[in-house]
A and B are shown apart, each in its own frame.
Chain A
Amino acid sequence: MDEKTQKSIWDKMGSIDYRIIYATFIVMLSIPIFYPLGIPMKISTPVQTYYDAIVDLPPDSAILVHSFVDLSVWADTGPILVATWNTLWDIAEEKNIKIIAYVSIPDGAIKMDDLIQGELKPPQWRIDSYGETWVDLGYIPVVNEPVQASFAADIASVCPTDIHIYEIGSEWVGTPIYEIPVVQEVAARGGDPNKLDAYDFDLYIWGSWGCTSPDQWVRQFWTTGNPAYELKMVMMTIGNCVPNVMPYYGPDKPIVGFIPGSAGAAGLELLCGHMGEGIVMADIGDLAGIATVAVLLLGNLSYFGKKFFEKEEEG
């Protein structure tokens, strides 16, 4: 092969039409949808610690759950929420774990209605004990930091009544929250049965796809308070927020576990035993990963090939 052909090969490698790259990725991502691959998975440490934080809670603990539902990122975060609630529903009745839940985005107000009646249907004993062992307060707009400060200090200041919209526990809708038995019981843990605040909980499960959210939540639910609330948290998030979570992640730090997107959700599904969309996403990710490596190699081979070839010519 002559020098001119070798040069053009490196050039060709480095200037593939974008449309071919797009088409390649679309085809690679589509294959597992037709033919699931079932490649084994490794569960990462943050996912394992997220799961352990929930299942290793001692009996009579109280969990505050923020159901993170945002339809614009549902494909990535939906599997995490579903797997989390399945893990919560699997907690044995004997452990007497109390759950107080809410959603903070309008999308969640109606999506939770569909989920609770469908794939997230609680076990019968939870359905029968709504108001006594768990409650879903509904949609509360706890999104900005001043409201979070009020929420952490006294949940009733932001959400005075149960306003969830689905059928389960509908007899409690409109009830002032301090008349709901589970709220009274959890509030009494902090000494004042008429004040439900961050001191009363053992674990806070929350989610966000804002990369400044870990700072925000840690400020309002760990650092604030006199004495500080120091409420342990586990977080549902997306992949690009991992560096923002890491400063607060650790066994003796505010965030004891987190799940970064559907890749992590697959691990949680394996741990809790409820297979769902996370595993499907993991499959799709496998072929996308192969295409990613190929594209990276092509680009860098072209760059180094041209550089080496030009150097050789000059030499």
Chain B
Amino acid sequence: MSTFIRKDLPTLLIAIVGFAIVAEWFFPIKALSDFKSYLGLVVTIIYRVSIGIGTVYATTSEYAVWRRNPTKQQTIISGSMFAMIIIMALVCVFYGGLDAGYNAQYRWFQYNIYQPQSQAMYAVMFLFQCGSLYRVCRARSMESTIMLVAGGIFILSCIPLFASYVPGISELGTFVTQGPSLGGTRPANMAAAIGAIIVGLRSLLGKEQSTMETT
């Protein structure tokens, strides 16, 4: 009984829900279509309600990092994260409640902390890519030569200076994306799709236990 409730019933639920939606594809009757729409929103609500788990994990892991290394520096670093959480929570409580995301005060934090910071993370990534471009992109083997040539052509075709003044570079760039690159991406997509379908069907039939294991 315990195994039935803990393992078999959830697996049955996956199958019932999954096959109901697949059935709607073949039998587009209103009841099934409405059920499919309802389930789409159910998934959204589950996702939105359960976001708090991320909050719990983020805060507990940061606390654990601080506990392992309670130096002054780490205290300031971890403390700043908790301070930001408290400040934003207070902003939400005092300026708009559940609609706080639309308010000017929230907007200030979004534009002056979140936006520049998250963009800067990717900006740093570019500088590291420049370093790797120099160190790694050398024609040492067949693979790296292709990477150098195809990647180099694509980069040059995207840059207006070269696209305008180097004859044929933009046509070469188009050829690389619509020829060899498409020849590599298309079968990779197909292979990924076949893999996903197999895993999906195994899950619907209750054979893919790895998808239902929790820690």
Chain A residues within CB distance 8 Å of chain B: 16, 18, 21-22, 25-26, 39-42, 44-45, 71-75, 106-107, 109-110, 113, 141, 144, 146-151, 153-154, 157-158, 165, 215, 224, 226, 239, 242-244, 246-247, 260-261, 263, 266, 282, 285-286, 288-293, 295-296, 298-300, 302-304
Contact B161 A39 (CB under 8 A): yes
Instruction: Please report whether the interface of chain A is mostly helix, strand, loop or mixed according to DSSP.
Output: helix
> What 7 new A-B contacts, CB under 8 Å, besides A71-B110, A74-B115, A299-B138?
A22-B127, A44-B170, A149-B37, A150-B36, A157-B41, A243-B177, A296-B134
Cβ contacts under 8 Å, A224 to chain B: 25
Which listed residue, B44, B126, B162, B177, touches A242 by the CB 8 Å rule? Answer: B177
Chain B: residues with CB nearer than 8 A to chain A? 25, 28, 33, 36-37, 39-41, 43-44, 47-48, 101-102, 106-107, 110-111, 114-115, 118-119, 121-122, 126-127, 130-131, 133-135, 137-140, 148, 152, 154-164, 170, 173-174, 177-178, 181-182, 184-186, 189, 193
In the complex the two chains form, is A247's CB within 8 Å of B186's CB? yes
B135 engages A147 (CB within 8 Å): no
CA A41 to CA B121, docked complex, whole Å: 29
Which residues from chain A contact B156 at a C-beta distance below 8 Å? Answer: 289, 293
Q: Which of these, B41, B118, B181, B193, contacts A147 with CB under 8 Å? A: B41
Chain B interface, DSSP helix/strand/loop, else mixed: helix
Q: How far is the CB of A46 from chain B (nearest CB, A)?
A: 9
**Residues in A neighbouring B102, C-beta threshold 8 A:** 109-110, 113, 165
- Of all A-B residue pairs in the complex, the 3 with the closest CB atoms, nearest first, are A150-B40, A289-B159, A72-B118
Contact indicator A296/B133 (Cβ below 8 Å): yes
Q: How far is the CB of A195 from chain B (nearest CB, A)?
A: 10
Docked CA distance A302–B138 (Å): 9
Q: In angstroms, how far is the closest chain A Cβ from the Cβ of B192?
A: 9
Cα of A40 to Cα of B157 in the assembled complex, Å: 14
* B25 touching A141, Cβ below 8 Å: no
Assess whether B139 is in contact with A16, with CB atoms less than 8 Å apart. no
Q: Contact: A246 with B158, CB < 8 Å?
A: no
Query: Is B152's CB under 8 angstroms from A296's CB?
Result: yes
How far is A246 from B114 in the complex, measured between Cα atoms in Å? Answer: 32
Asked if A110 and B185 sit within 8 Å, CB to CB, the answer is: no
Q: A39-B161, A106-B101, A149-B36 are in contact. Are A74 and B130 (CB under 8 A)?
A: no
Contact B28 A226 (CB under 8 A): yes
Indicate if the CB atoms of B131 and A246 lie closer than 8 Å.
no
Instruction: Check A246/B181 contact, CB under 8 A, given A141-B44, A157-B40, A266-B160.
Output: yes
Q: Which of A144, A153, A215, A300 contacts B189 (CB 8 A)?
A: A215
Is there an interface contact between B161 and A295, defined as CB atoms closer than 8 Å?
no
Residues of A within 8 A of B154 (CB): 242
